[in-house]
Chains A and B, each alone.
Chain A
Amino acid sequence: MARAVTPRRKALNTAISWAVGLLIFFPILWTILTSFKTEAEAIADPPLFLNFSWTLENYAVVQERSDYMRFLWNSVIIAGGSTVLGVMIAVPAAWSMAFVPSRRTKDILLWMLSTKMLPAVGVLYPIYLICIEFGLLDSRAALVVILMLINLPIIVWMLYTYFREIPGEILEASRMDGAGLKEEILYVLTPMAIPGIASTLLLNFILAWNEAFWTLNLTAANAAPLTAFIASYSSPEGLFYAKLSAASTMAIAPILILGWFSQKQLVRGLTFGAVK
């Protein structure tokens, strides 16, 4: 509903919006700034905004003291593994639901969504017990599987909404031209499906990266990803603001960047196609 307005009105909108935007972003900005301060500067009174001596020391200390790279690697494996595994399982399912729909397709989709509504805490102990039984407590494998399962409904839904937008006429046309099933999938459907699959991968990687119930409750020393690493800063290291900030910045930076690419898909992915 954007309309043409006077330059003065536009300037006013710009000023207010930027002020609000910066206010909302401020905690992140402040964390990033603080990560470049010394500990003394980080708690200076009055607070220092830009007029401090920038240093990279905190980043080195965090890595050295807590072996940050190990947690990062765990996050990458868990988020990446669960996302790729989930998409591999979901693509055929979403594919068949979009192109060969039956009377039950809608029910199956809604039922899948309903599993997403299951509160994690309600099944915490069974999952915990199963992990112990199979020797998978504090293992990356268990988290890859669990995060794959909790995100699978979203992955199926997102892929389904993307696949459904591929027009069926194109398939018929390619068949008329003599394309077999193999050519159809390889040369017609795959190129059209790739953007949707990429968006799905991106959003679900972000969701898995930030997941903080199972990752906190099922890991200890070995498989702990960044969510658990940061939680361990709760005390007393959390009072060293500069180091806390450096650790936080490293944990959120990759996702902030990926997130900015995925903002359009966010609406589709998290409202299950109900808002477009």
Chain B
Amino acid sequence: MATPNTPLSGGGGPFPQGRGRAGRALRGIARPYRSSHGVGRFMLVTGTVLVVLMVLTAVFAPLLAPFGFAQVSGDDGQRFATHLEPGGDHLFGTTTQGFDVFSRVVWGARTAVTVVLLALMFSLFIGVLLGLLAGFVGRWVDRVLVMIMDALFALPALLLAIVVAFLLSEYVGGGASTAALAITAVYVPQYFRVVRAATVSAKEQTYVEAARAMGAKPVTIMVRYLLTNVIQSVPVIATLNAADAILTLAGLGFLGYGIQPTEAAEWGYDLQRAVADTGAGIWWTGLFPGLAIVLLVMGLTLMGEGLNETMNPAIRVRRLLPVSMPELTSRTSAPDAAGAGTGRERGAAGERPEQETSKDGDAS
């Protein structure tokens, strides 16, 4: 631990100490929700509700889904009718292959959440590692990595994911981890940039030098500095990336490079199958998986933008509050240039009441 007197200790958060790690973490999570307001709060809360609903669906998929994702016949062994309209036993209808659409949408949530979590973990890990490496070592390592990352960033995200998925499928086959790794390739450059920038500025911070002189280990200081600086921007980036990752996953599935239909239910794949159905007027095979994607992506985007709005002071909307001014008790002319004016009657009491009634907001 760095000495408590370094300026860095202030970065630990505005929370009173000694509340326990869990309590502090909880308060940290709750903070954006408490300090947000207006549109920002609406976005944050709506987004969180949507995301939580989707995650719950993913977790409890086995309980919620009436059938398996690849199940084409009931418990009685009788095959489901294909192209059944929504209603009855099949809430969202059935597909050309005889799958139950509702079950596939529910299981699809599980696939989406799993893949995105894996992808985020991978890209965070690789991005942070490479970013630290580039930032610390500098020189040619930094230059080469920056060039590679910039080049990757320039390629269309979907194209990059397709190529990686395509190549990996030769080695690993088309499972959830392949899809996750393909998506990882897309988001590594972003984390790399953030972490590298923070590392470089951490190195340049003069007070890092100062603290080093006071006896704290440079590594400790760097880690603390990086944690406090990077961790602030990670929730926003991660949430927005998660939204984008869902779309990339669906895009991969739609083109047939994602998860194979026998391994898990995947919304993008279902939509690919549904394109052929539209000509026949079958709308339910495409509508429901599509809506699931929209809801999850929208939830994550709203959450990310809401977080951004409350945590990023630069774009934070200055809250406009109505001002009520107490009337002045009387108006007489103020002293003019020659100072010939008379004093105004201006009771101290007339000016005060507003002050006591001023709201105490978050005086943090």
Q: Are A and B a genuine interacting pair, yes or no?
A: no
The residues of B with any CB-CB pair to A shorter than 8 Å are none
Residues of A near any B CB (own CB < 8 A): none
